[in-house]
């Protein structure tokens, strides 16, 4: 597989269309293989949405809407990929500031959608600031480390502001409450701090502290319904019609797919609406039921490829901002996928994390595609020196 | 780039670790999927199958109720029906308005449906409309596709093809109320109770509320079946799977002894009069007609009668809801005189030829007791006493015989006993004597009351069924006839039926007297003696049941006659008879409420009904005796509502 997409033969005509030699070069070096995987996943996601809504005429337009959103987001991704990396860097702190303000706004003026205050209405726009925070945080932390690591003064103290940058939005998101997004934000942030060179001893200490603090968090931070979802994990059949219903039905759907599945649009669990949220967070169950283990394992492998690819892009970047930003973006996407599959497969509590590109949902699509744009941009600008 | 070079070393170590962690996570996820889909796939596959395939209760078809000759009286009719499942309808009022554009659905009915949807469990179908015409059914069927949660289906409903004719006998079915469910599940174990409750929630299911429908409930119900259906998570049926092996077993038919055509003719003969008639085949005791009029249409009750219609029935002063033939109790009046005469002869209190002089009244205890014939009957013996229905003669005979002997004889004829014929209700009536009076009124018996007893008045009362039975026992010259209504079905099991042994010789004298009534000079019902069939005559006895007491002043100033009297205060007219007089086959009792005179109002009705029975041979062998085994299985649970 080519890392840079060997399409130079047809390049001149493209270059002319885009007008500027600079962008032509960039397009030529675009990792088209990765782009193809992204497009493939989105098309597959549209097909799964079609299957999950096939028996419900009221939501027949969802697959088309999903794909339209993807096309718009795709244009955004390409735009972001081609934009000079310095734009990203300049935008980092302001974006973080705005996202933080929006989160505080949600705290006070938020709209309740589905029991949690996640939405902020600004005129015609209905925003989910927590989604934008994911990317803004990645950029801001990357920018922060680019600045602080340059003089290599090191020490433990330089990580403290980074922790603060991660925990402040995470706490706000947790209050909404949106446990899933908060976890993703913290996890991605921690990965970046880890790569920034936090002392091993501290990491060990943090791990121990985390494990010790878990019971405390369980009893004092989590809400009742969140606790119920955690309990469901250990004892899924205790409340089969209540908290455990979704989990149990999801497992039945996945498990009944067997080796090779029941066939496209033939999943009895999904076609007969046994799984709540099957077109959003639980869409993986539809795929697993209809395409079996072969399908679900293939999907995990495709995601692994995308993630490793992104990770390699990060590693090959010669600027620390680019490297950290790409790591943060890749980590965000990786946690999405891992949390989502872990959740629907009954390994993690149901926390409400969508499957990128597959699950129906506008803001998440934008976030993920912008993250890909960032990764692609890092690839295209890997030799641009940090200012 | 010195900053990065240092970092690179560190990065590669941390990269390896991060990659390793990622690898572990991915492997864990893959392993979990492998476990669920490959290792435990079969288990989850069967769980998924259980999830979607449900066993729905399939209600059995209720058994029919047939008349003597197999004419369906209680049957079923297939009719279009619209139901609505609350949880599948987003906006119930809007959906109902939409349906109202297609079929007739009044606003008050819409409101009732909305209330019921709110009350029922959300997956239970609520009936929107029943008995759709073919056009409505077709139209609804076309539009149902665009109305989620609305089902248009063919349903089986109980129907009573003979409508009003059998309302009191058959009773009716209705949707099971909470009270019905309590009764139906009485004594059932928890799982049976659950099953019954679920079954009766089915829109096809009805339960008997009255009459045979009530008492033969279990016989008629059948055995519940199942069918396999594919449902979605909300319980909506997506597909029905073949399930012949679980098909419900239809209920058994009940055949009754009544001839539906005779019943019809009898009701028509009554016209606007209210009253009752009972025709018995004197050989078998089969009840051939059991008429109570006016009556009501049980079909109105099957799908729930409106309150206003029900109140109209309840407040009607001719009591259409009341089963006069079985539940009604009337003083038998002069129709009782054969019983008094039989008691007198049996005890030897008088001889048949012993004469009593009737000047139009009778003196007893310093009081003047009037005979209905003011001019008097002159010298009267037993035969002419019955024929002319001489009150004076029976005052004397009753006094000589005594209350206890008359009461004893009454029981021999079937009075004072509730005859269980497999229909709800039924009255024993009152056969008074000293012990009864002390018990009921705390007072001793006075001899004057024996005189009233002697002409069938006073405390004595009886149902039309009992009067017909009395007549049948006379007509058979004392055979122990018992009334019987159920041909095939859960037959009443009476622990102690009072046995009867009547002296045939005495009964022959009674028959002769009754023949005199209709066929000899001086008989009170001579005009009704001829059946109009070119020969056969009937023998009978008239009677008048006083509704009010006639005061002495009134009698002195001339008893007021019916026309000047409020209908409600007029006397009841009675007539009992058998036919043909020379070879009795049928016995009948007729009461015309407020009909005044037995000979004028009741006898012609009885004559015409008997003529119809003879002409059409109502008592010929019933169909069920040729086709089905006569069953003696008793109903396992009995009760009165």
Specify the 3-state DSSP secondary structure of B129. strand
Identify the top-confidence range among A24-33, B2-11, B44-53: A24-33
Specify the 3-state DSSP secondary structure of B432. coil
Confidence of residue A349 (pLDDT cuts 50, 70, 90): confident
The predicted structure's pLDDT at residue A17? 39
Number of Cβ within a 10 Å radius of residue B43: 13
Q: Is B154 left (phi over 0), alpha (psi -120 to 50) or beta?
A: beta
Is pLDDT of B101 > 50? yes
The predicted structure's pLDDT at residue B610? 95
User: Which element (helix H / strand E) includes A36?
Assistant: helix A32-52
**Non-local CB neighbours of A223 within 8 Å, separated by 6+ positions:** A177
Closest by CA to A131, choosing from A184, A207, A194, A177, is A184
CB B556 within 8 A of CB B516: no
> In whole angstroms, what is the distance from residue A273 CA to residue A256 CA?
15
For testing contact with chain A, the best of B5, B18, B48 (most A CBs within 10 A): B48
Residues 282-321, chain A, touching B (beta carbon < 8 A) = 288, 292-293, 296-297, 300, 304, 307, 311, 315, 318, 320
* Strand locations in B345-396 (E): 356-358, 361-364, 367-370, 378-380
Is pLDDT of A348 > 80? yes
Is pLDDT of B2 > 50? no
DSSP state letters, B462-526? B-HHHHHHHHHHHHTTS-----B-EEES-B---S-PPP----HHHHHHHHHHHHHHHHSTT-TTG
Q: How far is CA B469 from each of CA A299, B155, B341, rounded to the nearest angstrom?
A: 88, 42, 17
> In whole angstroms, what is the distance from residue B301 CA to residue A203 CA?
80
Q: How far is CA B21 from each of CA A171, A200, B25, B26, B305, rounded to the nearest angstrom?
A: 26, 15, 6, 9, 74
pLDDT tens-digit profile of A122-162? 555 566 888 889 999 999 999 998 888 766 555 778 888 88
- Per the model's pLDDT, the better-predicted residue between B608 and A243 turns out to be B608
- Per the model's pLDDT, the better-predicted residue between B141 and B236 turns out to be B141
Is pLDDT of A8 > 80? no
Confidence of residue A240 (pLDDT cuts 50, 70, 90): low
The predicted structure's pLDDT at residue B286? 94
The predicted structure's pLDDT at residue B499? 83
- Tokens encoding A296: 């679900």
- Residues in chain A within 8 Å Cβ distance of B14: 194-195, 197
The predicted structure's pLDDT at residue B265? 95
CB A145 within 8 A of CB A320: yes
Average pLDDT, chain B: 86
Number of Cβ within a 10 Å radius of residue A130: 28
Burial class (CB in 10 A: 0-12, 13-18, 19+), A215: exposed
Stretch among A155-159, B204-208, B476-480, B529-533 having the lowest mean pLDDT: A155-159
CB B337 within 8 A of CB B456: yes
Q: Is B143 left (phi over 0), alpha (psi -120 to 50) or beta?
A: alpha
Confidence of residue B281 (pLDDT cuts 50, 70, 90): very high
> In whole angstroms, what is the distance from residue B593 CA to residue A50 CA?
76
Confidence of residue B307 (pLDDT cuts 50, 70, 90): confident
Which CATH number describes the domain made up of B79-158?
3.90.1310.10
Question: SS3 letters for B33-86?
Answer: HHHHHHHCHHHHHHHHHHHHEEEEEECCCCCCEECCCCCEEEEEEEEEEEEEEH
The predicted structure's pLDDT at residue A222? 73
- Residues in chain A within 8 Å Cβ distance of B37: 254-255, 257-259, 288, 292-293, 296
Confidence of residue B168 (pLDDT cuts 50, 70, 90): very high
Report the length, in residues, of chain A: 387
Mind telling me how many Å the CA of B24 is from chain A's nearest CA? 11
Q: Name the residue facing A195 among B14, B22, B52 (closest C-beta).
A: B14
CB A115 within 8 A of CB A174: no
Q: What angle do CA B407, B412, B417 make, to 5 degrees?
A: 80
Do the Cβ atoms of A338 and B52 come within 8 Å? no
Confidence of residue B204 (pLDDT cuts 50, 70, 90): confident
Q: Which residues pair with B330 in a beta bridge?
A: B462
For testing contact with chain A, the best of B33, B40, B149 (most A CBs within 10 A): B33
The predicted structure's pLDDT at residue A224? 75
Number of Cβ within a 10 Å radius of residue A260: 13
Number of Cβ within a 10 Å radius of residue A140: 27
Specify the 3-state DSSP secondary structure of B634. strand
pLDDT tens-digit profile of A215-226? 777 777 777 777
User: Which element (helix H / strand E) includes A117?
Assistant: strand A116-122
- Tokens encoding B393: 């003669």
Is pLDDT of B421 > 80? yes
The predicted structure's pLDDT at residue A123? 53
Is pLDDT of A112 > 60? no
Asked whether the ipTM of the predicted complex exceeds the cut of 0.85, the reply is yes
Please indicate if any CB of chain B lies within 8 Å of the CB of A37: no
Number of Cβ within a 10 Å radius of residue B552: 10
> In whole angstroms, what is the distance from residue B148 CA to residue B606 CA?
60
> In whole angstroms, what is the distance from residue B535 CA to residue B582 CA?
11
> In whole angstroms, what is the distance from residue B289 CA to residue B256 CA?
10
- Tokens encoding A331: 């980590």
Mind telling me how many Å the CA of A109 is from chain B's nearest CA? 30
CB B419 within 8 A of CB B426: yes
Q: What is the mean pLDDT of the segment spanning B347-363?
A: 93
Closest by CA to A226, choosing from A185, A177, A282, is A177
> In whole angstroms, what is the distance from residue A227 CA to residue B21 CA?
27
Q: Which residues pair with B54 in a beta bridge?
A: B229
User: Which element (helix H / strand E) includes A115?
Assistant: none
Please indicate if any CB of chain B lies within 8 Å of the CB of A241: no
pLDDT tens-digit profile of B35-87? 999 999 888 888 888 777 777 788 899 999 999 999 999 998 888 888 888 77
Location of structure tokens 């399908």: A295
Confidence of residue B629 (pLDDT cuts 50, 70, 90): very low
Q: Is B328 left (phi over 0), alpha (psi -120 to 50) or beta?
A: beta
Identify the top-confidence range among A86-95, A377-386, B117-126: A86-95
Reported as half-sphere exposure (CB side, CA atoms, 13 A), residue B141 has a value of 11
> In whole angstroms, what is the distance from residue A214 CA to residue A222 CA?
10
Mind telling me how many Å the CA of B182 is from chain A's nearest CA? 29
Report the length, in residues, of chain B: 641
The predicted structure's pLDDT at residue B342? 95
Is pLDDT of B244 > 80? no
- Tokens encoding B525: 């019902």
Closest by CA to A162, choosing from A135, A141, A138, is A141
The predicted structure's pLDDT at residue A300? 95
- Tokens encoding B334: 């002069």
DSSP state letters, A43-71? HHHHHHHHHHTTT-GGGTTHHHHHHHHHH
The predicted structure's pLDDT at residue B545? 85
- Residues in chain B within 8 Å Cβ distance of A271: 232
> In whole angstroms, what is the distance from residue B597 CA to residue B524 CA?
10
Q: Name the residue facing A293 among B26, B28, B33 (closest C-beta).
A: B33
Stretch among A136-145, B102-111, B343-352, B599-608 having the lowest mean pLDDT: B102-111
The predicted structure's pLDDT at residue A15? 38
Q: How far is CA A242 from each of CA A203, A350, B271, rounded to the nearest angstrom?
A: 38, 13, 66
Which CATH number describes the domain made up of B260-627?
3.40.710.10
- Tokens encoding A200: 């091993």
Q: Name the residue facing B33 among A197, A268, A296 (closest C-beta).
A: A296
CB B544 within 8 A of CB B572: yes
Q: Name the residue facing A149 among B3, B33, B233 (closest C-beta).
A: B3
Is pLDDT of B634 > 50? no
The predicted structure's pLDDT at residue A174? 85
Is pLDDT of A43 > 90? yes
The contact set of B with A (CB < 8 A) is 1-4, 6-7, 10-11, 14-15, 18-19, 22, 25-26, 28-30, 32-34, 36-38, 40-45, 47-49, 51-52, 230-234, 238
Q: What is the mean pLDDT of the segment spanning A218-242?
A: 67
The predicted structure's pLDDT at residue B556? 55
Q: Name the residue facing B51 among A149, A194, A274 (closest C-beta).
A: A274
Please indicate if any CB of chain B lies within 8 Å of the CB of A347: yes
For testing contact with chain B, the best of A152, A192, A256 (most B CBs within 10 A): A256
Domain residue limits, chain A: 31-380
Mind telling me how many Å the CA of B56 is from chain A's nearest CA? 17
Helices (H) and strands (E) counted in chain B, each on its own, are: 25, 20
Q: What is the mean pLDDT of the segment spanning B207-223?
A: 91
**Non-local CB neighbours of B287 within 8 Å, separated by 6+ positions:** B257, B258, B278, B279, B280, B281, B421, B465, B483, B484, B485
Q: Name the residue facing B232 among A272, A293, A346 (closest C-beta).
A: A272
The one-character DSSP state at B159 is E
Specify the 3-state DSSP secondary structure of B229. strand
Number of Cβ within a 10 Å radius of residue A67: 17
**Non-local CB neighbours of B457 within 8 Å, separated by 6+ positions:** B331, B333, B545, B546
Domain residue limits, chain B: 79-158, 260-627
Confidence of residue B640 (pLDDT cuts 50, 70, 90): very low
């Amino acid at each position: 597989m080519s890392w840079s997409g060997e399409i130079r033969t047809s390049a001149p005509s493209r270059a002319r269309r885009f007008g500027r030699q600079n962008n032509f070069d960039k397009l030529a070096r675009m990792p088209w293989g990765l782009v193809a995987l992204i497009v493939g996943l989105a098309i597959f996601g549209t097909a799964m949405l079609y299957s999950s809504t096939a028996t419900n005429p009221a939501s027949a337009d969802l697959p088309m809407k999903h794909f339209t959103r993807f096309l718009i987001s795709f244009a955004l991704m390409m735009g972001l990929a081609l934009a000079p990396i310095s734009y990203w860097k300049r935008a980092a702190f302001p974006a973080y500031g705005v996202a933080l303000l929006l989160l505080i706004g949600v705290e006070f003026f938020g709209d309740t959608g589905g029991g949690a205050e996640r939405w902020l209405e600004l005129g015609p726009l209905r925003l989910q600031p927590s989604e934008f925070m994911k990317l803004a945080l990645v950029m801001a932390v990357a920018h922060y480390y680019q600045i602080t690591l340059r003089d290599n003064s090191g020490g433990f103290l330089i990580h403290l502001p980074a922790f603060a940058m991660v925990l402040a939005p995470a706490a706000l998101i947790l209050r909404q409450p949106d446990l899933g997004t908060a976890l993703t934000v913290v996890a991605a942030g921690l990965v970046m701090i880890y790569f920034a060179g936090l002392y091993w001893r501290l990491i060990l200490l943090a791990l121990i502290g985390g494990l010790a603090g878990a019971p405390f968090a369980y009893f004092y931070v989590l809400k009742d319904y969140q606790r119920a979802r955690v309990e469901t994990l250990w004892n899924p059949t205790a409340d089969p019609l209540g908290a455990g219903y979704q989990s149990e039905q999801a497992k039945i759907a996945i498990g009944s797919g067997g080796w090779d599945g029941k066939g496209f649009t033939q999943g009895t669990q999904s076609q007969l609406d046994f799984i709540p949220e099957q077109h959003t967070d639980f869409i993986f169950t539809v795929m697993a039921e209809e395409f079996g283990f072969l399908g679900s394992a293939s999907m995990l492998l495709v995601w692994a490829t995308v993630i490793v690819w992104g990770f390699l892009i990060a590693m090959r970047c010669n600027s620390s901002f680019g490297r950290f930003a790409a790591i943060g973006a890749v980590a965000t996407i990786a946690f999405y996928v891992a949390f989502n599959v872990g959740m629907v497969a009954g390994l993690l509590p149901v926390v409400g994390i969508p499957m990128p590109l597959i699950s129906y949902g506008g803001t998440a699509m934008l976030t993920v595609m912008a993250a890909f744009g960032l990764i692609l941009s890092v690839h295209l600008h890997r030799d641009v020196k940090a200012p | 780039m010195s900053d990065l070079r240092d970092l690179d070393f560190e990065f590669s170590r941390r990269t390896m670790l991060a990659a390793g962690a990622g690898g572990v996570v991915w492997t864990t996820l893959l392993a979990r999927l492998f476990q669920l889909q490959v290792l435990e796939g079969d288990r989850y596959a069967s769980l998924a199958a259980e999830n979607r395939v449900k066993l729905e209760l399939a209600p059995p078809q209720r058994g029919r109720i047939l008349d003597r000759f197999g004419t369906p009286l209680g049957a079923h009719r297939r009719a279009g029906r619209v139901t609505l499942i609350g949880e599948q309808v987003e906006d119930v009022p809007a959906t109902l308005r939409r349906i109202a554009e297609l079929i007739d659905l009044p606003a008050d009915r819409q409101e009732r449906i909305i209330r019921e949807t709110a009350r029922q469990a959300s997956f239970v179908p609520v009936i929107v409309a029943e008995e759709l015409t073919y056009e409505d059914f077709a139209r609804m069927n076309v539009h149902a596709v665009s109305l989620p949660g609305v089902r248009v289906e063919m349903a089986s409903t109980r129907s009573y093809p003979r409508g009003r004719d059998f309302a009191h006998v058959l009773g009716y079915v209705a949707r099971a109320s909470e009270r019905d469910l309590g009764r139906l599940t009485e004594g059932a174990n928890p799982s049976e109770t659950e099953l019954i409750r679920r079954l009766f929630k089915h829109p096809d299911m009805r339960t008997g509320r009255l009459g045979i429908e009530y008492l033969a409930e279990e016989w008629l119900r059948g055995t519940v079946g199942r069918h396999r259906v594919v449902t979605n998570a909300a319980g909506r049926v997506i597909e029905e799977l073949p399930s012949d092996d679980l098909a419900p077993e239809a209920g058994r038919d009940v055949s009754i002894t009544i001839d539906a055509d005779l019943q019809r003719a009898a009701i028509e003969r009554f016209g606007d009069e209210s009253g009752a008639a009972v025709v018995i085949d004197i050989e078998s005791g089969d009840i051939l007609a059991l008429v109570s009029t006016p009556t009501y249409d049980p079909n109105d009750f099957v799908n729930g009668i409106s309150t206003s219609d029900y109140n109209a029935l309840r407040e009607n002063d001719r009591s259409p809801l009341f089963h006069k033939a079985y539940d009604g109790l009337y003083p038998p009046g002069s129709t009782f005189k054969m019983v008094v005469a039989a008691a007198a002869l049996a005890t030897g209190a008088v001889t048949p030829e012993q004469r009593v002089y009737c000047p139009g009244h009778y003196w007893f205890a310093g009081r003047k007791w009037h005979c209905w014939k003011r001019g008097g009957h002159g010298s009267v013996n037993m035969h002419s006493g019955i024929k002319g229905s001489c009150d004076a003669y029976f005052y004397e005979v009753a006094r000589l015989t005594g209350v206890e002997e008359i009461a004893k004889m009454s029981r021999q004829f079937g009075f004072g006993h509730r005859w269980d014929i497999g229909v709800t209700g039924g009255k024993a009536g009152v056969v008074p004597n000293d012990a009864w009076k002390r018990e009921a009124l705390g007072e001793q018996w006075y001899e004057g009351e024996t005189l009233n007893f002697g002409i069938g008045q006073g405390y004595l009362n009886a149902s039309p069924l009992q009067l017909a039975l009395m007549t049948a026992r006379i007509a058979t010259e004392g055979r122990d006839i018992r009334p019987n209504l159920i041909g095939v079905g859960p037959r009443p099991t009476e622990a102690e039926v009072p046995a009867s042994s009547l002296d045939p010789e005495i009964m022959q004298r009674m028959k002769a007297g009754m023949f005199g009534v209709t066929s000899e000079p001086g008989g009170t019902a001579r005009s009704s003696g001829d059946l109009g069939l070119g020969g056969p005559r009937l023998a009978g006895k008239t009677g008048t049941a006083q509704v009010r007491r006639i005061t002495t002043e009134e009698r002195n100033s001339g008893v007021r006659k019916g026309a000047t009297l409020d209908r409600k205060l007029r006397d009841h007219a009675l007539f009992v008879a058998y036919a043909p007089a020379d070879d009795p086959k049928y016995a009948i009792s007729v009461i015309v409420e407020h009909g005044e005179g037995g000979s004028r109002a009741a006898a012609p009705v009885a004559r015409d009904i008997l003529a119809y029975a003879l002409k059409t041979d109502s008592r010929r062998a019933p169909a069920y005796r040729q086709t089905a085994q006569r069953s003696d299985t008793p109903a396992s649970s009995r009760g009165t509502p």
